[in-house]
């Protein structure tokens, strides 16, 4: 989950820069969206791993 925290931090930094840099606002917002997508992918990966582990445990009668 530390990876998710770092990804969200990068997203936040890009959104902050978009507020401060009006000339490149669209660039920074696009970068923030890229980081947001990475965060969602990280969350999906985490849940798929949890579900896989849970299924493995059930088939092994944990």
> Using an 8 Å Cβ cutoff, are 35 and 11 in contact?
yes
pTM for the model stands at 0.76
pLDDT tens digits for 4-45? 999 999 999 999 999 999 999 999 999 999 999 999 999 999
End-to-end CA distance of the chain: 25
Sketch the domain layout of the chain as residue ranges. 2-59
**Number of C-beta neighbours around residue 7 at 10 A:** 19
Could you give the CA distance from residue 5 to residue 24 in angstroms, rounded to a whole number? 25
pLDDT at 60 (0 to 100): 63
DSSP 60: T
């Amino acid at each position: 989950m530390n990876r998710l925290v770092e990804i969200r931090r990068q997203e936040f930094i890009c959104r902050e820069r978009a507020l401060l840099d009006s000339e490149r606002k669209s660039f920074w917002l696009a970068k923030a969206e890229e980081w947001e997508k990475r965060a969602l992918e990280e969350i999906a990966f985490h849940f798929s791993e949890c579900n896989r582990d849970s299924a493995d445990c059930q088939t092994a009668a944990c």
